[in-house]
Amino acid sequence: MAEIALRNIVKRFGSLVAVNNLNLHIRDKEFVVLVGPSGCGKTTTLRCISGLETPDEGKILIDEEDVTNKRASQRDVAFVFQLYALYPHLTVYGNIAFPLMAQGLSKKRTRQEVDRAAQILRIKHILNKKPRELSGGDMQRVALGRAIVRRPKVFLLDEPIGTLDAKFREEMRTELKKLHVDIGATTVYVTHDQVEAMSMGDRVVIMNLGVLQQVGTPHEVYHKPKNLFVANFIGSPGMNFIRCKPSRGPGGKLALGLPVINTTIAIPDEIQRTIIDKKKEEKNLVLGVRPENVMFSRKKKSNHLETRVYVVATMGSYNITDVRLGDETIKVRTAPSILPEVGETVYISFDPKRISIFDEETGDSIV
Amino acid sequence: MASVRLASLTKTFGEVTAVDNIDLEIDDREFFVLLGPTGAGKTTTLRLIAGLEKPDQGEVYLGNVSVNDLSPALRDVAFVFQYYTLYPHYTVRQNLEFPLRSKLRRLSESEIDAKVSEVAGVLHINSLLGRETVNLSGGEMQRVAIGRAIVRTPKVFLMDEPLSNLDAKLREEMRTELARLHLDLGFTFFYVTHDQIEAMTMGDRIAVLNEGRILQIGTPDEIYNSPENVFVAKFVGSPTINLFEASIETSTLVVGKKTLVCTIPGTQRSSLEKYTKRELILAIRPEDIEVSKEKKEADSFKCTVYFTQSMGVEDILNLRINDLVLRALVPPKLLARVGDTVYASINMKRSHLFDSETNMRL
């Protein structure tokens, strides 16, 4: 079993609070991804779990054992660094065998363990090579092999595929995920790339400026973001935002005024109710809608907003068209056959079942 | 008039042929992307155009002029490197002014000022002009690097993976900005990258390079929907295209170890007849595999969900049937879980066939 609990973790570097009161529980066998922009505190958090850093406040428990003050070497975790740190003078075999030899394991058992790891990682054919002869991808597999043989309770990976080519990163993401399905050990993975986080995590832990923003499954953080940061950070491209203010229409219904283009749009009854229930009628709000939930038409339609095409990006299986709404930009996802001209006037509306509303001041989600 | 023309260009380093007999023509004002894996020869090609390397064979033409013997400074190209190489203790303004202060230009102070303001405006860095570049974020530094290239109003703008050091989210934003910048400025952009998303998003045309050789040149649509060989089919598109061993038997395609039998669409049958019994490769993109919980089509086959990747807007399913593994893109509402049995069918009209030996399209 390998559960990890982080309780009220604070870590400072001088006056900088790198990790600010983090509480997190990771279940046995879970693949959890810590994701956020550079400087958000994810690597510091990982290093605290490993023992390479000691938190200034708070506790770290592995399987309910308080390991906060235990040395890294005594925590039964294996750390895979971004820059593989392979021993240049040892062969691939030697690199992978090293932790086992250090433990005093017999040559025979060492051989068995290394072969098992090499089989899983498909690196049997390079066991005799030295690191300088290997490609980036192979080196990374060796680094993983060195971690796997230790059969640790927990794998900790710090942006291990960041330095690889984009195409290769994609392959390795699938391989790492498959590896987790096959080996089934608790894994904590750090990345700044939300696509990586979404494609690999059982749950995703989103951080910004040292503060935990949201924890959830990829589905949850995508469809129910807790605040503006998460809504924009997750998704390629992120959620569109338009400033709005609730206003009472002639029938007494609540609608949303969009100051950017001096128009009011209708909103479904449930959303009206929620805004009222949460006492946000007088507040400055933000309307959020994902690019795939923006409806697009070249002909003027009722309830549609007039916009101008700013730029079109063809992605192969879909297109992203940027349109200008006043001085705001809205991204629209369409089928690849939709190719408007730059400068063309087009009309958009939002799928009412799929809009989100946030409080502009706090950034928190309302609907 | 072609802005840039490479004719039979070759460059070797010892035993390695980095650039192998390349022919390319880039139109004026085009956003041209050279796409390929690390080590393909992209940076070397760029350096040959800039004049930072001399070719062993072939010519580089800028406009209609052969520039083989022209030094980089006289070629009127601007280079944006992967590592911005800004002057660290100069301000942003000083960095932007620097190329304009060269003796070759002879601009007055007011002319220099005007140019710097114009460029800073285009790149939204007006507020940073007084700051020393060491105090800038990655994204800001990269804008200054681009600005320093723009002030020179070069004939060609050469960019070597300028976004690869930025965080993923910032890269996304910068892609749109670069595309827009290109539209606004109207310069010829020659952009080099290993990231096919960048190439697809920004390029007017893309040249796919591997091991020093060009494999295909085309618009993003052509490269994506009509790949001429297996390498291009694999390299462009995310998730990666599915590839299977296949052979033709009468009017069907037998896939894998006789795992699947797919009906060849009527329109394709006669042209494919001559390839009967040859070893082929069937390629199908993940979005062209239909998946449902029940058997819907005659050709749909039962498979097991090995694992899923939830991307929010869609899910990637890793499916298994006997010896075959397929990646399929499906809407999240399908709710397929690991271990589930589902039915998949291949949209044969969107499939590609390649010769197994030559890896070329049939």
Q: For A124-176, how does the pLDDT look when each residue is reduced to its tens digit (9 = 90+)?
A: 999 999 999 888 888 888 998 998 898 888 999 998 888 788 888 888 888 88
Last residue of a domain, one of B204, B232, B260: B232
Does residue A333 sit in the same domain as residue A213? no
A238 to chain B, any CB pair closer than 8 A? The answer is yes
Residue B335 has φ and ψ, to the nearest 5°, of: 55, 45
Last residue of a domain, one of B169, B197, B232: B232
Does residue B59 sit in the same domain as residue B149? yes
Residue A263 is assigned to a structural domain of this protein? yes
Does residue A174 sit in the same domain as residue A319? no
pLDDT above 70: residue B1: no
Count CA atoms closer than 13 A to A55's CA, side-chain side. 26
Q: What is the average per-residue pLDDT within A118-124?
A: 88
Does residue B16 sit in the same domain as residue B164? yes
How many domains, in total, are found in chain B? 2
Considering only CB atoms, B200 lies closest to which of A170, A311, A315, namely: A315
pLDDT interval class at B2 (50, 70, 90): low
Residues of chain A positioned with their CB less than 8 A from the CB of B332: 219
Q: What is the ipTM of this complex?
A: 0.88
Contact between chains at A333 and B316 (C-beta distance less than 8 A): no
Does residue A123 sit in the same domain as residue A219? yes
Q: Quick one: CA dihedral B35, B41, B42, B46, positive or negative?
A: negative
Closest-CA residue of chain A to B137: A38
Q: For A178-188, how does the pLDDT look when each residue is reduced to its tens digit (9 = 90+)?
A: 888 888 899 99
Q: Within 10 A of B16 (CB to CB), how many other CB atoms are there?
A: 12
Does residue A228 sit in the same domain as residue A249? no
Residue A366 is assigned to a structural domain of this protein? no
How many domains, in total, are found in chain A? 2
Does residue A123 sit in the same domain as residue A23? yes
Does residue B169 sit in the same domain as residue B257? no
| pLDDT number for residue B122 | 82
Any alpha helices (H) in chain A, and if so which ranges? 42-50, 92-103, 107-121, 136-148, 166-183, 194-200, 218-223, 228-233, 269-277
pTM for the complete prediction? 0.89
| pLDDT number for residue A318 | 95
A183 to chain B, any CB pair closer than 8 A? The answer is no
Considering only CB atoms, B307 lies closest to which of A177, A292, A315, namely: A177
Does residue A157 sit in the same domain as residue A39? yes
Residue A367 is assigned to a structural domain of this protein? no
**Least Cα separation, residue A42 to chain B (angstroms):** 14
Residue A80 is assigned to a structural domain of this protein? yes
Does residue A159 sit in the same domain as residue A283? no
Does residue B292 sit in the same domain as residue B192? no
Cα separation, A35 vs A33, whole angstroms: 6
- Per the structure, the complete domain to which residue B207 belongs is given by 2-232
Considering only CB atoms, A317 lies closest to which of B169, B201, B287, namely: B287
Q: For A341-356, how does the pLDDT look when each residue is reduced to its tens digit (9 = 90+)?
A: 999 999 999 998 999 9
Does residue A257 sit in the same domain as residue A209? no
Contact between chains at A167 and B237 (C-beta distance less than 8 A): no
Q: Where are the beta strands (DSSP E) in chain B?
A: 2-13, 16-27, 31-35, 57-62, 65-66, 77-80, 156-160, 188-193, 205-210, 213-218, 242-249, 252-255, 260-263, 280-284, 289-292, 301-310, 315-321, 324-330, 341-346, 352-355
Does residue B170 sit in the same domain as residue B266? no
Does residue B177 sit in the same domain as residue B246? no
Does residue B16 sit in the same domain as residue B113? yes
Does residue B218 sit in the same domain as residue B312? no
Does residue A165 sit in the same domain as residue A29? yes
Dihedral-angle region of residue B134 (phi above 0 means left; psi in -120 to 50 means alpha; beta otherwise): alpha
Contact between chains at A237 and B172 (C-beta distance less than 8 A): yes
Which of A42, A209, A213, A315 to substitute to test the interface with B, most B CBs within 10 Å?
Answer: A315
Cα separation, B358 vs B362, whole angstroms: 10
CATH of the domain at B37: 3.40.50.300
| pLDDT number for residue B277 | 81
Q: What is the average per-residue pLDDT within A118-123?
A: 87
Q: What is the average per-residue pLDDT within B25-39?
A: 94
Q: For A291-322, how does the pLDDT look when each residue is reduced to its tens digit (9 = 90+)?
A: 999 999 999 988 899 999 999 999 999 999 99
Does residue A221 sit in the same domain as residue A329? no
Residue B237 is assigned to a structural domain of this protein? no
Residue A364 is assigned to a structural domain of this protein? no
Does residue A248 sit in the same domain as residue A223? no
Q: What is the average per-residue pLDDT within A30-38?
A: 95
Residue A88 is assigned to a structural domain of this protein? yes
Does residue B226 sit in the same domain as residue B261? no
Last residue of a domain, one of B207, B232, B257: B232
Considering only CB atoms, A219 lies closest to which of B175, B221, B332, namely: B332
Residues of chain B positioned with their CB less than 8 A from the CB of A178: 306-307, 318
CATH of the domain at A71: 3.40.50.300
Residue B60 is assigned to a structural domain of this protein? yes
Indicate the pairing of strand A57-62 with strand A65-66.
antiparallel
Last residue of a domain, one of A175, A204, A233: A233
Does residue B89 sit in the same domain as residue B206? yes
Does residue B21 sit in the same domain as residue B152? yes
- Per the structure, the complete domain to which residue A161 belongs is given by 4-233
Does residue B163 sit in the same domain as residue B309? no
Last residue of a domain, one of A194, A212, A233: A233
